[in-house]
Structure 1
Amino acid sequence: MTYQEAVEKIDSRLLFGMKPGLERMRALMDELGGPQEKVEFVHICGTNGKGSVCALVSSVLKESGYKTGLNISPYVLNFRERFQIDGQMITEEELAGEMDVIWPAVERLDARNIVISEFELVTAIALHWFAKKGCDIAVLEVGMGGLHDATNVIPTPAAAAVMSISLDHTAWLGDTVEQIALEKSGIIKRNGRVVLYPEQQYGVTEIIEGVCAERGAELHIPDIRQTQVWTEGVDGTDFVMGGIKLHTPFMGWHQINNAAVALELVKVLREQGFNISEENLAVGFKKAFIPARMELLSERPLCLLDGGHNPGCALALRGVLERYVPERKVAIMGMMADKDSAAALEILGPMFSKVITVRPDNPRSLSAEDLAATAARFCPEAVPVGSCREALDMALEDVSDREALIACGSFYLAGELRPLLLEKFPAR
Structure 2
Amino acid sequence: MTASETMHYIQSFQKGGKPVHDLSRIRALLEELGNPQDSIRAVHIAGTNGKGSVVAFCAAAATTAGFRTGTLTSPFIRHYTDRIQIDGNDISMDALCRFCEQVKACAVSADCSQFEITFAIALLWFVEEKCDLVILETGIGGLLDATNIIRNPLVCAITSISFDHMAILGDTLSKIAAQKAGIIKPGCPVVLSSDNPMDVTCLVQETALQKRAPLTIPAMTDCQILSETLESTTFQYRNFAYTLHMPGRHQVYNALTAIEVIRFLGMHGFLISAAQIQQAFGKVQVPARTQILQREPLILLDGGHNQAGVSALCDLLKHTGKHPIHGICGMITTKDYHTACNILRETLDTVFCVDDFLPSAVPAEALAACFEGYADAKAAPDFETALREASAMAVQDGGMVVICGSLYLASEALQNDGILSKDNPML
CA contact (8 A) 1:72 1:82 kept: yes
> Which residue identity is paired with 1:67?
R
Normalised to the residue count of structure 1, the TM-score between the two structures is 0.95
Matched, 1:391 2:386: yes
Given the superposition, is the C-alpha separation of residues 423 and 408 from structure 1 closer, same or farther in structure 2, using an over 3 Å criterion?
closer
Q: Which residue of 1 aligns with 2:313?
A: 317
Assess if the C-alpha contact under 8 Å between 1:335 and 1:360 holds in 2.
no
Match of 2:237 in 1: 241
1:32 deviates by 0.4
Query: Does 2:337 correspond to 1:346?
Result: no
Of 363, 366, 370, 2:362 maps to 366
Superposition deviation, residue 398 in structure 1: 1.5
State the alpha-carbon separation in 1 of the partners of residues 406 and 114 from structure 2: 20
Q: 1:423 to 1:48 in 2, by over 3 A?
A: closer
The Cα shift of 1:163 comes to: 0.8
DSSP 3-state at the match of 1:168:
coil
Query: Conserved in 1, the CA contact under 8 Å of 2:303 and 2:409?
Result: yes
Question: Is the 8 Å Cα contact of residues 15 and 115 (structure 2) preserved in structure 1?
Answer: no
- Which residue of 172, 182, 188 corresponds with 1:186? 182
Q: Tell me the equivalent position of 1:95.
A: 96
User: CA 1:134–1:166 in 2, change beyond 3 Å: closer, same or farther?
Assistant: same
> Contact 2:48/2:164 (CA < 8 Å) preserved in 1?
yes
Following TM superposition, by how much is the alpha carbon of 1:180 offset from its aligned partner in structure 2, in angstroms?
0.6
Output the CA distance in 1 between the equivalents of 2:6 and 2:290: 32
Aligned to 2:395: 400
For the residues of structure 2 that align with 1:16 and 1:350, how far apart are their CA atoms? 34
The separation in 2 between residues aligned to 1:373 and 1:426, in whole angstroms, is 36
- Aligned equivalents of 1:422 and 1:51: distance in 2? 27
Question: Is residue 360–residue 416 contact of structure 1 (8 Å, CA) maintained in 2?
Answer: no
Task: Tell me which residue corresponds to 2:264.
Answer: 268
- Measure, in 1, the Cα distance between the counterparts of 2:127 and 2:359: 34
SS at match of 2:194: coil
- Aligned residue type for 1:25: I
Distance 1:411 1:204 in 2: 25
Letter in 1 for 2:93: E
Unaligned segments of structure 2, at least 5 residues: none
Matched, 1:224 2:225: no
The aligned amino acid for 1:41 is A
Determine which of 196, 202, 205 is the counterpart of 2:201: 205
State the 1:424 CA deviation.
Answer: 5.0
Find the residue that maps to 1:332 and give its secondary structure.
Answer: strand
Residues paired across the two proteins, number? 422
Residue correspondence of structure 1 range 24-423 to structure 2 within 5 A: 24-105=25-106, 108-110=107-109, 115-379=111-375, 381-400=376-395, 402-420=398-416, 423=419
1:363 Cα shift?
Answer: 2.8
Contact 1:345 1:378 in 2 (8 A): no
Distance 1:416 1:14, change over 3 A: same
CA deviation map 1:204-235 (0-9, x unaligned): 11111111111111101111212222222111
Distance in structure 2 (CA, Å) of the matches to 1:257 and 1:318: 17
More divergent stretch after superposition (334-343 vs 222-231):
222-231
Q: Distance in 2 between matches of 1:33 and 1:262?
A: 31
Change (3 A) 1:159 1:397: same
Give 2:95's aligned amino acid: E
> Do the aligned partners of 2:295 and 2:423 also contact (CA within 8 Å) in 1?
no
2:163 partner amino acid: L
Amino acid at match of 2:5: E
Q: Does the C-alpha gap of structure 1 residues 160 and 385 become closer, same or farther in structure 2, counting only changes over 3 Å?
A: same
**Aligned partner of residue 345 in structure 2, secondary structure:** helix
TM-score normalised to the size of structure 2?
0.95
* C-alpha separation in 2, matches of 1:277 and 1:75: 30
**Is this contact kept in 2: 1:346–1:378, CA < 8 A?**
no
**Could you tell me whether the CA contact under 8 Å between 1:360 and 1:412 is conserved in 2?**
no
Distance in 1, matches of 2:243 and 2:217, equals 21
User: How many Å separate the matches in 2 of 1:165 and 1:278?
Assistant: 28
Paired residue for 2:2? 2
**3-state SS, counterpart of residue 395 of structure 2:** coil
Q: Cα distance, 1:38 vs. partner?
A: 0.7
- Partner SS state of residue 351, structure 1: coil
Offset at residue 364 of structure 1 (A) = 2.1
Q: Please give the alpha-carbon distance, in whole angstroms, between the structure 1 residues aligned to 2:407 and 2:395.
A: 26
Give SS of 1:400's match: helix
What per-residue deviation string (whole Å, max 9, x for no partner) do you get for residues 6-50 of structure 1? Answer: 011000001773533311000011000010011111111111111
| CA distance in 2 between partners of 1:285 and 1:72 (Å) | 18
Question: CA–CA distance in 2 between the matches of 1:15 and 1:58?
Answer: 26
Deviation at 1:375? 2.3
| Segment drifting more, 219-228 vs 260-269 | 219-228
Gaps of 5+ in 1: none
**Structure 1 residue 361: deviation in Å?**
2.9
Letter in 1 for 2:166: T
- Aligned equivalents of 1:15 and 1:164: distance in 2? 24
Q: How far 1:378 moved relative to its partner?
A: 3.5
